[in-house]
Structure 1
Amino acid sequence: MEKLFNESVTVLNGVGAKRAEALKKLGIETLWDLFTYFPFRYEDLTVQDIETIEDRQKVVLQGTAIAQAHVQYYGYKKSRLSFRINVDHVIVPITFFNQPYLAQQIVEGEEIKVFGTWDASRMQLSGIKIIGGSTVNKNEKFEPIYHSSKEISHAVIKKLVVQAWDKYQGEIQEVIPEELISKYQLIPIKEAIYNMHFPKSPAVMDTARSTIVFMEFLIFQLRVQYRRLQHKNIGTGQAIHYNLERLKIFFSSLSFELTKAQKEAVNAISADMKRPIQMYRLLQGDVGSGKTIVAAGAIVAAQSANVQSAFMAPTEILAEQHFQSLQAIYKDFDINVVLLTSSTSAKERRELLIDLKKGKIDCVVGTHALIQEDVIFSHLGLVVIDEQHRFGVNQRKDLREKGEHPDVLFMTATPIPRTLSMTAYGEMDVTTINEMPPGRLPIKTYWIRKKQLKNLMNTIMKELKKDSQIYVISPLIEESDALDLENATRLAEIYRQTFSPAYRVALLHGRMQAIDKEEIMQQFKKHEIDILVSTTVIEVGVDVSNATMMVIHDADRFGLAQLHQLRGRVGRGQKQSYCILVADPKGENGVKRMQIMTESTDGFKISQKDLEMRGPGEYFGKKQSGLPEFKVADIVEDESVLEAARYEAADLLMAETFLQNDAYHNLRTSVGIEDGRINDILD
């Protein structure tokens, strides 16, 4: 197997430097990459009965060529190839465009198979390809279709797979342990690879796919769980011996009592901090569930042990929000919290960095500016990373490696479905706050059509007369020819015309300078602005208790998780709050999303629906979020297989024989384990 993992595809005929580079862009560098570059779909090449074919259906017809093909040339490099075949005594005209070379495969009186699109009104076929001529395999039942590119075609990939199979199939060795093949009724990996590329029937394809899916999940789970075991080795972190009494005093000084879920989170984090192992925990909870106060308690614990904390947020607005929240929380506690962002003045930054290095600062709140080389801590013990999926893998890694392996607490207000927790966050311990603080009124959500805007304006006016504030969200900043959407600039003008001068309307968007955005947000918080028209820049980080209505225009253009995040910007105070979705969805999915939002305020249910509807690739947006890319497996469709693989991976790692037994050598190689340690595959 090592040969397949290490041997370059350049050993194949026809793969020079240029083609190798084209293959590399598709993720194919080694023979193993090629063997596991599976088709994304198959075309059924089974011959069909002419009487059962529907109009515009892609079909395969088999018949006898009545005469030699005729090629007619017209225009520049344009041609029409025409011939007729006899299909069960029905004469069918066949036409191919711009493929004159196919004429040599058509011999009068010989059987031929043609794949094309059926025109029922004319009883003729627009040919796509000949699959049964003088030079083609007539027994082919399914045509594998591979993802290709401008530089390298599907046909070339198929030829390379065939060549690799003929020359190197003998190098393929079993990866999945025999006991698991038997337990889950799988097939040998060599057979599975062959049947993925050259299937004889749908049943054969399904069995092959099941085996490949299990292999992908098993390898991934072994990587994640083995890395997690290594991470938990004694000595990989620092034991923070905090003052328990000071922590109790802090929580008892609050004007409210923690929920049961918050207390459980505090206990789990505190236990992690005491261990001489680097904490690597994800704290997830719905918007407003009280994650910040839990993190604030961890910062108090760190300060009581004379170690510093860093609190990193993805945007300046959110960093400012956390800074102000922590200052308010610690008003009666002697904890020095500072803010460091790219907007911090040069002089203030120099002084701040000196104090940080001397240990005069207990907690620094900031953006990615915290991971710059000149930011040096006296003794960093705790790192809190909020909305962590918005940071790249390397950014998260850089911060958690600052100092002497500080404890790391990740937080997210994007509830994460369990399957994503097992993949994107498999290395982390996960704590969930699944209950809201008492007394919070559920946000009422309504969906209206654009033709109901007049009624919406009347509703907004009633809310404004209650001295409340309004968010208005648009997906675009300026006019777009490509998308027929309301845009923030135009919306701001509409709202000004409707509500000014009695009520103050402002516009906020991501292209504004940070200082201007901050000024507008401060004005909104101080109620110097009544209606804030914005793009999704306010999705996180704005906490205005007097805001009671969230109006989202073209709501069908947003994913469910994002809509839920936006909705969570209201309902922070004692007043009843509302979310109005304005949308004319054209498709069934758009309608379904609107219905889900009006029926549920449970972020975990909504995130699961979002995952099911959009798929894992779209859930987080950026690939750098750390979500693994499986070649065949689908974490939604194959959730039960993921669970089984997770269980089996844990079982294998518990057995002492896994790291030594030669029977697991190929599996260890696939995982990337060498000499008892795992390669940096996941970094």
Structure 2
Amino acid sequence: MELTELKGIGPKTEKLFQKLGIRTVEDLVYYFPHTYLSFPKTQVVGSLVDGEQQAVMGMLEKDATVVHLHGLLMTTAYVRDLSGKLRLCWFNAAFLKSTLRAGTVLVFLGKVTSFKGQKTMQQPRIFRPEEYEAKPGTLEPVYGQTKGLSNTAILKAVRQAMDVSVFRPDFVPESIRCNRTLMDMRTAVRAMHFPESVTQFEAARKRLAFNELFLFSLALAEKKAHHAAERSRFVIEAHPEVAALVEKLLFQLTEGQKAAVQDITADLRSGFVMNRLVQGDVGSGKTIVAFLAMLETALSGYQAALMAPTEILAEQHFAKMKAMIEEHALALRPVLVTGSMTAKERKTLYTRIATHDADLIIGTHALFQEKVVYDQLALVITDEQHRFGVNQRQELSEKGQRPHTLVMSATPIPRTLAMLVYADMQVSLIREKPADRLPIRNAVVDENYRKNAYKFIYEEIRKGRQAYIICPMVEPNDMLDLENVSDYVQKIRKIFPKEVKIGKLHGKMKPAEKEDIMARFLAHEIDLLVSTTVVEVGVDVPNATVMMVENAERFGLAQLHQLRGRVGRSEHQSFCIFVDTQNSEKSKQRLQILAHSNDGFDIAEQDLRLRGPGDIFGVRQSGALDFAIADIYEDGALLREASEDAAFVLKTDAELTLPEHGELKKALDRFLAKSCTL
């Protein structure tokens, strides 16, 4: 059903929805809220706590005043009750003056701060007392927005879509739904959009998260059964040239790197197909481990392919590999294959690969195009495994005759979860950082430190360094007072001198545009990059020494650690500044873990322990497994249940051919077609 069939959506509004990836009514039904606003019970002024989102009911002691301040109109009012007085202020909202009259009793909802010793709320929402009375205990959905499309407009469209959409049959067997007390799908989807209570929301989220984890577990179990103890036709021996190369490196391999190399070497010589994950913290040196495996493979007379998630990262890997081969005079032929190459260039490369005139093939998804034919592909390596769909990796593997598989991940998943997530793989851990890397210096600050942070960033840029500033949002959201890339760039262009070259990057850009921005940042054509978390897994920019994360309290600790890994990649001292805009005791406690530790595995374990129901209101954790709803940190127990249920289903019906599993088979096929989790 087309979006334009809904009331109030014409061609112009349809284009705005399409910018959010919503093209049909079904897309709209499954476009779930980005987060939710909760409504606390009203407090008296005297009990308000700095840094917390709170509601207060009181009487305005005077009419509101409107004054000009730094080019903005500021509306100010004071509300009083028996326990004290609270200052209220809004920017560019002069129209409120007619509402904020002396003697009026209203409820104000917002974050409390202190200004010159006076308790203050900036930009609070306003309610009539009778209107707010029903709010505590409820949740208000907040959707990802784009300019011109408000939360209210999206909410109105979703309500219509829910009434006319036809839901697919439920694919989770009824026995499992009953055993796990799972909500039915129609109710769950409605409750995700319009929860009547926190309890109902949690039940709905559990159902949708279970769907993803159940399908993931089924796919994982099938993959494990298919790959178990397969004999390999590629037995790869160790070569003295590689050992000599390691001896001549400008740095010494860490113990973790040495152990990983030994694991991989043993797998390649075993006579069985390798299926190994190298899990290493950010900056731990996984790439050199992968390169050594590729060199051993090529020197044994076979081909090795390395697939990177972006062209610029593939180009960076290729340049390093080529330099290594030339420096050590190895008789090997590396090639780079990317989607942006001309037809003539691709044709030449395809011929070289097919005739084994290329031993080492590095590229992007272009490596598994139909026209790419390998001669003897013995090793397939994927960098940052969660950026590729299972079908993409399978297609690349099928280019050979069951080549060895090596996967690299920088996401530090707690061991308890890794045993489930990587149940089909052997795992090598690299925990240490190379000896030449200085530990990142961390600071957790509040909003008042911003000016000092900007000065510090400018000083680093004057030294010839580069910096990142991370924002949680792409564009303004009329329901969330969070920093966004679009407005932030405009703001800091007025703050930093004109010679500072500022760029912006976010997930809504086209892939080619994102690649171009990162290439310019790597080439130092950009000094300061304002970005969303899309840089979490990205190109290595050794010259970047500062990262500043706005609204840091809104992110999971593990994701903040991943972001921090974009700096500290050279011999230069690097710094990370976490701006805690909430500045509450809870947010301070969480962020201090990052300030005192650079160990991603330790942080992941602490993140897992600290998470609770309240964290659903933050920015959703992203990382190793890009589920739409599920979160392996928050849903570890649910993943275990889903894994048990998947094993039971496959034990009774390995091929999912029974009539009662017809819908499940269709759902699994759809999941595999778009999955980026295996």
Distance in 2 between residues matched to 1:190 and 1:550, nearest whole Å: 45
Residue in 1 that maps onto 2:263: 268
Which residue of the other structure, out of 451, 464, 485, is the alignment partner of 1:467? 464
Aligned to 2:504: 507
- 1:244 to 2:239 alignment: yes
- Tell me the equivalent position of 1:313: 308
- In the alignment, what sits opposite 2:63? none
1:130 match: none
Deviation at 1:571, TM superposition (A): 0.9
Please say if 1:233 is aligned against 2:233.
no
Structure 1 position 607, deviation (Å): 2.2
Paired position in structure 2 for 1:324:
319
For residues 580-603 of structure 1, give each alpha carbon's deviation from its aligned partner in whole angstroms, at most 9, with x where no partner exists: 112313877655542332232111
Q: Which residue of 1 aligns with 2:574?
A: 577
- Mark the CA change 1:457 to 1:264 in structure 2 (over 3 Å): closer, same or farther: same
Instruction: Report if the CA contact (8 A) 2:559-2:623 is conserved.
Output: no
> Could you tell me which residue of structure 1 aligns to residue 57 of structure 2?
none
In the alignment, residue 530 of structure 1 is paired with which amino acid?
A: D
Please name the residue that 1:604 is paired with: 601
Give the structure 2 partner of residue 45 of structure 1.
Answer: none
Amino acid across the alignment from 2:651: R
1:561 to 535, 558, 563: 558
CA distance in 2, matches of 1:509, 1:635: 27
Point out which structure has higher relative CO (alpha carbons under 8 A, 6+ apart).
Answer: 2
Contact 1:223 1:671 survives alignment (8 Å) = no
Q: Name the structure 2 match of 1:369.
A: 366
Deviation readout 1:550-593 (Å, 9 max, x if unpaired): 11222233332222121111111222211011231387765554
CA–CA distance in 2 between the matches of 1:641 and 1:510?
Answer: 33
Write the deviation string for residues 510-559 of structure 1: whole angstroms up to 9, x where unpaired: 45555554454344334343222233332223222222111122223333
CA deviation map 1:162-218 (0-9, x unaligned):
xx99xxxxxx9xxxxxxxxxxxxxxxx999789999xxxxxxxxxxxxxxxxxxx99
How far is 1:152 from its partner? 11
Q: Contact 2:608 / 2:634 at 8 angstroms: preserved in 1? A: no
In 1, Cα distance between the equivalents of 2:214 and 2:253? 39
Native 8 Å contact 2:304 2:378 kept in 1? yes
Counterparts of 2:215 and 2:490, CA distance in 1? 55
- Say whether residues 1:437 and 2:434 are aligned partners: yes
Report matched runs for 1:513-592 at 5 Å: 517-585=514-582, 590-592=587-589
Query: For the structure 1 residues 263 and 356, does the alpha-carbon distance in structure 2 shift closer, same or farther, using more than 3 Å as the test?
Result: same
Where 2:276 maps in the other structure, the secondary structure is strand
d(CA) in 1 for partners of 2:276, 2:454: 45
Match of 1:64 in 2: none
Determine helix, strand or coil for the equivalent of 1:277: coil
TM-score, L = length of structure 1: 0.59
Equivalent position SS for 1:331: helix
- Secondary structure of the 1:408 match is strand
In 2: Cα distance, 1:421 partner to 1:488 partner: 33
1:126-525 alignment runs, 5 A limit: 228=224, 231-235=227-231, 237-332=232-327, 333-512=330-509, 517-525=514-522
What is the CA deviation profile of residues 11-34 of structure 1, one whole-angstrom value per residue up to 9, with x for unaligned ones?
xxxxxxxxxxxxxxx9xxxxxxxx
Q: Does the 8 Å contact 1:250/1:297 carry over to 2? A: no
State the distance in 1 between where 2:220 and 2:517 align: 44
Does structure 2 retain, via aligned residues, the 8 Å contact 1:314–1:386?
Answer: yes
C-alpha distance in 2, partners of 1:445/1:453?
Answer: 15
CA–CA distance in structure 2, aligned partners of residues 331 and 195 of structure 1:
59
- One-letter code aligned to 1:328: A
Aligned partner of residue 579 in structure 1, secondary structure: strand
Cα distance 1:314–1:194, how it changes in 2: closer, same or farther (>3 A)? closer
Taking structure 1 as reference, are residues 637 and 517 closer, same or farther at Cα in structure 2, changes over 3 Å only?
Answer: closer
SS at match of 2:636: coil
Write the distance in 1 (CA, Å) between the matches of 2:271 and 2:370: 26
Q: Please report how far the alpha carbon of residue 370 of structure 1 lies from its aligned counterpart in structure 2 after TM superposition.
A: 1.7
Cα distance, 1:244 vs structure 2: 2.2
In 2, the alpha carbon distance for the partners of 1:411 and 1:535 equals 23
* Bigger Rg, structure 1 or 2: 1
Asked if 2 retains the 8 angstrom alpha-carbon contact of 1:474 and 1:536, the reply is yes
Maintained 8 Å contact 2:411/2:623: no
Residue correspondence of structure 1 range 112-131 to structure 2 within 5 A: none
Task: Write the distance in 1 (CA, Å) between the matches of 2:584 and 2:432.
Answer: 34
Q: What is the root-mean-square deviation in Å for CA atoms of aligned residues?
A: 4.8
Cα distance in 2, alignment partners of residues 493 and 634 from structure 1: 36
User: SS in structure 1 opposite 2:326?
Assistant: coil
What stretches of structure 1 of length at least 5 have no aligned partner?
A: 1-25, 27-118, 123-148, 166-171, 173-188, 198-216, 650-663
The CA distance in 2 between the partners of 1:408 and 1:289, in whole Å, is 20
- Name the counterpart of 2:651: 668
* SS of aligned partner of 2:246: helix
Structure 2: how far apart are the matches of 1:414 and 1:478? Answer: 27
Determine if contact 1:232/1:277 at 8 Å carries over to the other structure. no
Structure 2 counterpart of 1:669, which letter?
A: T
Q: CA deviation at 1:501?
A: 2.9
* Deviation of the 1:445 alpha carbon: 1.4
Give % identity. 41
Q: Note if contact 2:214-2:639 (Cα within 8 Å) is conserved in structure 1.
A: no
Within 1, Cα distance between the matches of 2:441 and 2:579? 14
Describe the SS at the equivalent of 1:581.
Answer: strand
User: In structure 2, do the counterparts of structure 1 residues 151 and 511 end up closer, same or farther at CA, with 3 Å as the change threshold?
Assistant: closer
Which stretch of structure 1 is more off in the superposition, 305-314 or 592-601?
Answer: 592-601
CA distance, structure 2, for counterparts of residue 219 and residue 342 of structure 1: 31
Query: Is contact 1:635-1:642 (8 Å) kept?
Result: no
Unaligned runs of 5+ in 2: 1-28, 30-129, 134-161, 185-212, 658-664, 673-678
SS at match of 1:381: strand
> What's the counterpart of residue 636 of structure 2?
636
Q: CA separation in 1, counterparts of 2:629 and 2:399?
A: 24
- The alpha carbon displacement at 1:430 in A equals 0.6
Cα distance in 2 for partners of 1:478, 1:667 equals 45
* In structure 2, C-alpha distance between the alignment counterparts of 1:627 and 1:283, rounded to whole Å: 26
For 1:515 and 1:637, how far apart are their aligned partners in 2?
39
Give the length in aligned residue pairs.
476
Shift of 1:422: 1.9
- Distance in 2, Cα, partners of 1:374 & 1:545: 36
For residues 342 and 566 of structure 1, the distance between their equivalents in structure 2, rounded to whole angstroms, comes to 27
**1-side partners of 2:520 and 2:634: how far apart?**
46
Distance 1:593 1:325 in 2: 38
The DSSP-based 3-state class of the residue aligned with 1:451 is helix
Call closer, same or farther: CA 1:531–1:191 in 2, change over 3 Å. closer
- 1:555 touches 1:563 (CA, 8 Å); kept in 2? yes
**Amino acid of the residue matched to residue 426 of structure 1?**
A
Maintained 8 Å contact 1:423/1:628: no
Tell me the TM-score normalised to structure 2 length. 0.60
Alignment of structure 1 residues 72-83 onto 2, 5 Å: none
Specify the SS of the correspondent of 2:381. Answer: strand
SS in 1 for 2:350: helix
**Residues 467 and 544, structure 2, Cα contact 8 Å, conserved in 1:** yes
